[in-house]
Structure formats: structure tokens, C-alpha cells
Structure 1
Amino acid sequence: MPKFSEFFSLNQSQYELDFVDINNRRDTPVYVDPYAIEVADDIWAATASEYIRGFFKEVLDALRANNIPRAAFLMSNLHEPSETFLGVSREEPRGRGVGAGQAQQLLRAIQKSKAFRSGILSDLSEMSLYVEGVARDKISDLTTNILRGLLAEYTRQQCELHAIPIGPYSGPPLWNASKQSWVSKQIMLPRIEDMPVLLVPKYIVRRNLSLESQEFYNKQITDFLVAEHLKANDSLVHILKTTNERKVYKGDVRDRHPMSKKFIADMVIAHPELLEMYKGLAKTHKSLIVFEEEAPSLTSVCANLASVFSTIPKGPAYATKYHDLVLGALTALFHPDLIQPRKEWEIHDGRKRIDIVITNAGDKGFFAQRRDDPRTGANVVIVECKNYSNDIANKEIDQLIGRFDVNRGKFGIITCRGVEDDKLLLRRCQDAAVRQQGYIITLTDHDIVDMLNARAELKDELVEQRLFEKFRMLLA
């Protein structure tokens, strides 16, 4: 069976899609990572983090109050999230979530853990560090179930964006964050061969979780113990004959202090700075873009996209093709700074104008500056695609300005095929900036193709340079 994108004839590579392009015949070997969600700097992730924290606090509070029925109720509603097709199943995807039979076992494991008894266990993302029998698959499945409602809405938005049909699905209960309970609710999902599909944003998945016990033990904890034994000058210290250098071997340290989740908890209780260091490094882990070894490279995808622009004619008849091409190009160029594009307005006036709102998740560079700059405050970037054969006029500028507000911010992008009087268009955009109505940059085919070619040639700095130049011209 083809991938999701092939089944619905999207004609876009994984680089051009915001979600994981799954195959319903085999699980994609990636996992939903709660720590990646926690450290992400965007509105959706902030809401998702509240869901995760709220749910896990309810579980821990119930266990500490010895309210086992309440804890069991919370855990037993976490069913196998087979709709995402993520994980490591070798045959047909089945999921490995927490069902009623496993709920009591998992609760007992939490209660028995040193981290729970000492009070240091507070985050779902840290369960794999401390709780026996909990690893990446269980953490991913727990997280997916808690976020099922949010992921269903994300799926609906992506299907609307790509014109994918959806239908009603009565699946497992959804976590209601305000009621702190599970509720049954019908959702709308796409289907492949009558199998419901829940799409997952690719920026929240990892091949391995950001926080994993073996990695934490092998790196921060072992390195710390090596230094401690050197300081103590004990029996693990060897004197090298050639240099007279004192040395402690990591293998000896691991033999002396074998890895266990109880030992990790003991180390964190005694030295909490080790966990903070580990989490700080994990925060820098980059999100994945593609998930299959045979997938084309980003450079080849960008080079191909650059060549397609000249093949699409101008005019309303080809507006949808141009819109899809631009959206794919922007995703390939700017993910994960720009994520979760969604369609928000569609106006039929002979030109079929479609506005796209894209969440700004940039943590550095141009888009981070646009979010943090009080003049723009761009929590989102509003994009209008104009498949015009004539120049953009004041009407189009005013239309985009009308989309700005205090929540979205005041930054937008107009893409168009070309500009005959670029000085006049710049003056129009500058006028809006001077009046603090909004800050609009225009990207022509020439601009986008140049950026795609730069990325195809591994000259990423030229992409940022083009954006900064466009913005500075507004302030001139």
C-alpha cells in the first residue's frame, strides 16, 4: 500500500509535508516525544504540554492519595493508538498502548519506583528514566492517547489544507483537560482502506526519546562518576606508565555502579544538576524531517521544487497548483521554524485567493526575531499566494493588513509570480510599516527559486540573508 501522501495523490515529499507521511501497512519507526513538545516554542505545543502535565499530575495525585480506583480509571482509558501507525511493529500496525490489563501493572511500577517515593517524579517525559518497564514505545503511546483530541483537530486542519476527505470516527475516549477526565466524542478522520488515520506533526517525533535512561547513564552519570573517582584517588584510578597520567576507565565505573533505574533516581536525588545538564542538552535535539533511508535528500527535493515554478501558468485556473507548490516550498525551506500550516480564508473573486496561517516556532534566526520583535509579535505568519499576471496593489496589501491582530501579530508574506514595478510595491509595504499597520514582505518566484537553489547547494545562510534583506527594506 502506498504512503498517505501517495494514497491521496498529494504529489509532495516528506520535506514538503508538516506531518509524518505514514504507511498503513507498516509502522514508521519514530515516537511521539513529550519532552520535544515541552521545549517547543509554539502555541500548539504549549497547549499539548498543559494536557500532558495535567493528566500526569492527576495520576500522581491519585497514587499519593492511595486512590487506586481513580488512578486505574485514568490509566485504563489509554488504548492502543493504532491510528498513528508509529512505532516498531514488524507486521500490521497494532500499537502497544496501555489497556485495562496493563494499567495496574504500570501503576504498581510507578509506585515501586524510587523516583515516585522520593517525590522527584513529576513529568511524564521522565518516566523512562525512573520506572521499570517503561521505555520509548510506552511513553509515546501514553502521550499520543492524552493528545488524541488535539491530534484529531490537527488532522482535520491538515486534511482541509490538502483537500483530503474525512469522515466520522468513534474511537477511544478523549482527554478533557478542563474536566480532568475522559470523554467519549466522535471525531473526523481520513481513512486508508477503511483504516482511520491520525496524523502527527513531524516536529514532535524522534527516533529515540529525548530523555532515555541508558543515554543518561552512559553520558552525564558515568562522566560525573569518573570525575568523582579521580577526585577520591581510589582503587579505580590507574597510572599510565608512559605519561604518568591518572585515569579512570568508564568500563570500570560501570562495573562498580551498574545501571538501574533506582540508581539513576539515587543519582538525581543526590545531584539534581546532572538531570538539568542532560535536559539542557536534550533540548538542542533537532526534529526529524524524513523517516526512511530510501527517501530523497532535502537538496534534491529543493532542486526539483525550484524547477517546477516555471511549469505552472499564471491565472485563477492554476491557483490551486501554485498554492500547493508554494506551501510545499515554504515547508521545505523553513520547517521546523514554520509549522502546522492551516487554511483560514478562501475568497472567490475571480482570482481564488487563499490565505494560509503558519505557526511561528522559530527559536533563533529570522522567524524567532519576528516573534520576539514587539513591532511584529508574529506568533503566526500569514501567507497569501497570488497567482497573478499583474502587480500587487493597495487592495492586496490592505487585505493582508486586515488579517493582523494582537494574537496573530503583524507580519505576513505575499507570494506572487513576479513584480513589474518593484519600487512601487516596496513603497506600499513601507507605508504600512511606517504607520505600524503591519510588516509585509513579498516573495516572487525568483526569490523562492533562489532560496530553494541555495538550500539545494547547502548554502542555507543565503536563505536567511534573503529574508533579512527583505525585512530591512521595509524599515529603510
Structure 2
Amino acid sequence: MPFVTDYYGITGPVLFANVDVASDNFRFLDPHAVRLTGAMQPFASEALHCVDTFLGEIVRCVISPVPGDHRRGEALLKRFREPWETRLGMSAKGYHGHGGGEDVGSWIWTAMSTDLVALVHVGVLEHLEDLPMFIDGIDRDITSDVTTRIMFAPLARFTESMLLKHPEFTSNGHKAKTVISQVWDPSTLEWTEEQFTLPVADGKPLLLVPAAWTRRNLLMSATRFYEKTVLDFAQIERAVRGSDGKLIKTPKDELAKIKGLGRGRNTNVRLTLEAFEKNENLIEYFKAFVALKFERPEEDDAVAA
């Protein structure tokens, strides 16, 4: 099937990710990409307000001593129905993949209230994009699904703005459709429903995503965090000073073979806490590194119009 611009006959550059309208596209909505492009992108502040208030409420529920808050936190996380309208993701056939759902919500809640509870309590786990670095099973596909669901309202408003900008969406036999969708309300801190007008492609509503918000790989993946920041910290901690006064560091590939320093999210959690006890915030170090290396989507193999 054709890409969005081919399907609707849109010419010239477009702001949205130009995806195949009938299939998952192996591109993913990355919340950290939204954060890094925020000032330059329409609807970014609204989208970030959604994800930040959502995670903030989950964190509040995790640290609360009230059992009812614990039930509320897990219940909020169990509302991640797969937002297939974007055609982002990596399903083998079409765009109806495994999605998020109740199981994913339970994974996140269990991790945050057990393995990650120390990170939550000390306040270093601040943003939604931090979670893939520390929770097994939460990688680019599920992160994209979860982020899309929480940001659905601003994404839908972005899509409605594209309907106005590009009349091709509703010409030459193409139509738009009114849909009612689950959205996160950052003012009430509750899931609710809202009505939007979306274009229809291949018989299904289409939710457009700003191209600058999509990536092929997460900017803040567990692997990248481990290889760059976690092992950097381990190197410094275990370095010795030679007779010439210079620090001698163990190569990273050798460090990775040491018990307790092997690749994995458990190592990420443990060394992040170890660093925090020494007044070092590995998450902030990593974010600074990611920002320095950040590339725009057109340099990240984005599909052009």
C-alpha cells in the first residue's frame, strides 16, 4: 500500500510521519524525541504535559501509603489499548499487534512498586522515557503504544490541523470520520473520552504523528544507557591510578564480563542507585549525552514525502 502522501495525492514537504497507510512501519513514537523537539513542534507542550502528569500521578500512587492509591495507580496503567490508528510499530501483519493492554500496565506497576521503588522514592525516575531503561519487556514498540495512548488528544488535534492544511485529505473521494477515543485528561488526572475528526485510510481512521517525534530506535534505550553511561560510571569507580598519575580504566568489554556488571536492566537499576548514593545522577548524565548526539528525523532515515 502507498504512503500517506501517495494515498491522498499530497505534494511537497509535510510535518507528519509519512507512513504506509495499511501496515505497521517499524517507526516508533519516542517521548524523548518529543521533549527534545518541543519548542520547535506544534502541540508538543500539550503532549508533554499529558505524559508528565500521567507519570507524576503514577509516581504519587507508588509512594503513597494508602492502599487505594496503589489500586488506582495500577488501574490507570491497565488502560493501554493499542492505538493502531498511527500505523506505527512492528506487527508482523497489518497494524493490529500485541499492543499494551492490561498485561503491560501490570508489568509497569509491578516494576515501579518493587524493583524500581527506590528510584521512584529518590526522585530520579522523572519521565515516561526513563522506564524502558529499567523495565524488562518495555522497549520501543510498547513505549510507542503507551506514549501514543497518553498523547492521543494532542496527536488528534495535530491531525485535525493537518486536515485543514492539506485539503487532499477530504477531496477526490477521500473522507474524514468522527471518532470517540480514550484520552488522558491532565487537568483531572483521569482517563476520559473525547471526540475528534480523523482522515480515513484503507477504511480505517488515521492518526498522524509529527515526523520529528518518531524514531527507528528509542533515544533512551536500556542498551544505549548501559553501554554509554552505566559502564562509564563503572569504569571510573574501578579505575586505578598508574605510576605516571594517569587513570587506568578497565575496557568496557571486560567490565561487562564481571559478575554484577553484565548487560541487563538489573545492572542499570543497581548502578544508578549506587551512583545516586554518591550524588551522581546517571539518568541526567545520559540525557545530556543523548541531547548532544540528537539527530533530526531526516537524518534518522525518516520517510520523506
TM range (shorter): 0.7 to 0.9
TM-score scaled by length of structure 2:
0.83
Aligned 8 A contact 1:113 1:132 in 2: no
SS in 1 for 2:187: coil
CA distance in 1 between counterparts of 2:90 and 2:283 reads 28
CA distance in 2 between counterparts of 1:162 and 1:122 reads 37
Match of 1:207 among 206, 216, 236: 216
Please name the residue that 2:4 is paired with.
Answer: 4
Matched ranges for 1:82-97 at <5 A: 82-97=84-99
Larger Rg: 1
State the Cα distance separating 1:106 from its structure 2 match.
Answer: 2.8
CA distance in 1 between counterparts of 2:199 and 2:156 reads 10
Q: What does the per-residue CA deviation read over 1:45-68, in whole Å, with 9 as the maximum and x for residues that have no partner?
A: 222211111011111212322423
TM-score scaled by length of structure 1:
0.55
Please name the residue that 2:146 is paired with.
Answer: 142
Change (3 A) 1:30 1:247: same
Please name the residue that 2:232 is paired with.
Answer: 223
Please name the residue that 1:54 is paired with.
Answer: 53
1:38 aligns with 2:29: no
Change (3 A) 1:64 1:273: closer
Moved over 4 A (4+): 290-293
CA distance in 2 between counterparts of 1:30 and 1:188 reads 24
1:185 aligns with 2:188: no
Match of 1:282 among 272, 283, 290: 290
CA distance in 1 between counterparts of 2:295 and 2:203 reads 34
Question: Percent of aligned pairs with the same residue?
Answer: 23
Q: Which has the higher contact order (CA 8 A, sep 6+)?
A: 2
CA distance in 2 between counterparts of 1:179 and 1:227 reads 45
Match of 2:269 among 243, 265, 269: 265
Aligned 8 A contact 1:52 1:146 in 2: yes
Aligned 8 A contact 2:100 2:146 in 1: yes
CA distance in 2 between counterparts of 1:276 and 1:104 reads 27
1:18 aligns with 2:15: yes
Please name the residue that 1:105 is paired with.
Answer: 107
CA distance in 2 between counterparts of 1:291 and 1:96 reads 26
Please name the residue that 1:242 is paired with.
Answer: none
Q: What does the per-residue CA deviation read over 1:304-330, in whole Å, with 9 as the maximum and x for residues that have no partner?
A: xxxxxxxxxxxxxxxxxxxxxxxx9xx
Aligned 8 A contact 2:83 2:149 in 1: yes
Aligned 8 A contact 1:56 1:124 in 2: yes
Match of 2:79 among 77, 80, 105: 77
CA distance in 2 between counterparts of 1:219 and 1:291 reads 20
1:170 aligns with 2:172: no
State the Cα distance separating 1:116 from its structure 2 match.
Answer: 3.4
Match of 1:133 among 131, 137, 162: 137
State the Cα distance separating 1:288 from its structure 2 match.
Answer: 0.8
CA distance in 2 between counterparts of 1:155 and 1:53 reads 22
Change (3 A) 1:62 1:174: same
CA distance in 2 between counterparts of 1:191 and 1:291 reads 28
Give, as a single letter, the amino acid of the residue that structure 1 aligns with 2:27.
Answer: V
Please name the residue that 1:433 is paired with.
Answer: none
Give, as a single letter, the amino acid of the residue that structure 1 aligns with 2:109.
Answer: L
Aligned 8 A contact 2:79 2:101 in 1: yes
CA distance in 2 between counterparts of 1:192 and 1:219 reads 41
SS in 1 for 2:298: coil
Q: How many matched pairs?
A: 282
Aligned 8 A contact 1:75 1:100 in 2: yes
CA distance in 2 between counterparts of 1:2 and 1:203 reads 21
How much is the aligned-residue C-alpha RMSD, in angstroms? Answer: 2.5
Q: What does the per-residue CA deviation read over 1:167-207, in whole Å, with 9 as the maximum and x for residues that have no partner?
A: 21133x11111111111222110011211100000111111
Matched ranges for 1:152-167 at <5 A: 152-163=156-167, 164-165=169-170, 166-167=176-177
Range that drifts further, 213-222 or 256-265:
256-265
Please name the residue that 1:303 is paired with.
Answer: none
SS in 2 for 1:190: strand
Unaligned runs of 5+ in 2: 171-175
Change (3 A) 1:77 1:35: same
CA distance in 2 between counterparts of 1:291 and 1:276 reads 23
CA distance in 2 between counterparts of 1:8 and 1:174 reads 27
Q: What does the per-residue CA deviation read over 1:371-428, in whole Å, with 9 as the maximum and x for residues that have no partner?
A: xxxxxxxxxxxxxxxxxxxxxxxxxxxxxxxxxxxxxxxxxxxxxxxxxxxxxxxxxx
SS in 1 for 2:257: helix
State the Cα distance separating 1:228 from its structure 2 match.
Answer: 3.2
Range that drifts further, 265-274 or 217-226:
265-274
Change (3 A) 1:270 1:232: farther
